[in-house]
Structure 1
C-alpha cells in the first residue's frame, strides 16, 4: 500500500474520531467503530468509488492492515443507511476546514432524484404525498421523485442540502432554505429538508446528534 493512501485513511480516521460523537448503543460495540465507518465512507468518495461493491472489494484487498475488521457489502450498506446523522456531522466538520467556509459566496445546484419508474410503483410508494412529477431539462424527460438541492462552498464542499418537490421552483426552494438561517450564507450549518405534506410550508431542520 502506498504511504500516501495510508496517510489519507489515518488522517480521515483521526478527524472523524475527534469531530463526530459516536452513537450510543445497547449491547456489545460493533466490530467497525463509527469513526472507522465514516473514514471508509469519506475515503470511498474521495477515491472515486461509485460502486459500493467495488469499494468493499478494494478495501478487503488493499486496506485490511488499517482496520481491525472490515464488513462485507451488505453490512457496510446497512451501517451507512443508519448513519445519516453521523455523515451530516462529518460533512459539516470537513466543510468548516476549507478556506472559504466564512466567505459570502455559496454555489447552488440541483439535480433530479427519481424514486419510481412505473405508475404502479408510484401508486405503492410510501413517498406518495411527498414526491411528485417533475421535468428534467438536461435529459428531456419527466420523472417522479424529488429534486435534490445542494449548497456548497466555492471549492465545491457541501454545506447544506434539501429534498424538494419537483414542482417547487428553484428560487422558492433555495429562498426557503436560506431564510431559515442566515448563517448558511456566511458560515454554512446543518442540513434541511422541505416537507411537502398539505398544511406545511418552508424547510424543516434535521439536527445531527449532539447539535
Structure 2
C-alpha cells in the first residue's frame, strides 16, 4: 500500500521489535534516534528533528493550522495544502521584490 522507498522518521518512544517488524512488513523504513542501551544504528537525528519542529511551528503560528475549521480528513488536507501553497507563493513573491525578510507574511495578513 506504500510506494517503494518510504522512510518514516519517528521518536525514541517507537522503539520495539514488534513495531519495527510491522513497519518492515508494510515496506516502510523506520528511522528513530538511537537509545542509550542499544548499539548505534541511525545516530543523532537532531538536525532532522529541528527542521520538522520548525515546519510544525510555521504551520501552527503563521498559517493558523490549529484552527483550520475542517470537518473531514479531506477538508484538513485541502486547507493545509491551500495554506502551504499560499506561504510558498508569499516567499516566492518576497524573493522577487527582494524583501529583507523572505518568510514574512505580515504584509499579507489583512
Q: Same fold (TM over 0.5)?
A: no
TM-score range, shorter-chain basis? Answer: 0.3 to 0.5
Higher share in strand? 1
If each structure's helix is expressed as a fraction of its own residues, which one has the higher value? 2
Which structure has more relative contact order (CA 8 Å, sep 6+)? It is 1
